[in-house]
Amino acid sequence: MSARRLLPYIWTWPLDVLLWLLWILPFWAFWGTNLRWEEGSLAFTFKEDSWPMRTWYKKWGGTSIGHALMYAPKVKPNADGTPHRITVHEQFHVKQYESITLGAFIWAWVPFTFLAANGLWTSAFVCGILMWLSATLQHGVGNWTTAWIRGERAYRDSYHEQSAYAVDFKYTATGKRDT
Ligand SMILES: [Zn+2]
């Protein structure tokens, strides 16, 4: 992994730190194992017999929000050392997150500048930071809603999710990773 791959932390770090402290580290401490850096993201795997794997997470393979990833125990590298399909899928979501967060970071300067120019510094900071850190949510609202309006499944058929499936399907079919 090149150092350039870590440059997006310049505009994603506040949300990442929050996700690590509120989600990854406590979940790993309660139910997880193998806390690690996976291509620049903090990741852990649920223990086989942990409560989430016996209940609400048993049908899931992996989840990512920001540079924070959690996996079911079945997600292990392939015998030849190449990553599991679900790892490729989640790492593609990391790329999406880095892109949409940079967009939100840039746009957040518009209300910030306008409000600050009018002396409304508190509003400027609150509005700017909220706009910046809600990038995933803002993106998701349009993305899930349009899938729902088309009469499809809001999450699974959103283009955000379909692109990740397309990438991991191609990887499974060719064994070549080009993400
Ligand atoms: Zn996905």
What is the pLDDT, as a whole number, of residue 178? 65
C-alpha 125 – ligand 1 centre gap (Å): 32
How far, in Å, CA of 5 to CA of 3, rounded?
A: 5
What is the pLDDT, as a whole number, of residue 158? 94
Residue 65 near residue 27, CB atoms below 8 Å = no
What is the pLDDT, as a whole number, of residue 64? 96
Sign of CA dihedral 143, 144, 148, 151: positive
C-alpha 110 – ligand 1 centre gap (Å): 31
C-alpha 159 – ligand 1 centre gap (Å): 10
Look at residue 32 and tell me if it is in a domain. yes
Q: Which residues surround ligand 1, an ion (CB under 5 A)?
A: 161, 164
Look at residue 179 and tell me if it is in a domain. no
What is the pLDDT, as a whole number, of residue 179? 56
Q: Residue ranges of the chain with pLDDT lower than 70?
A: 178-179
DSSP classification of residue 4:
G
Print the domain residue range for 43.
3-174
Look at residue 38 and tell me if it is in a domain. yes
Mean pLDDT of the chain: 94
Report the number of distinct structural domains present in the chain. Answer: 1
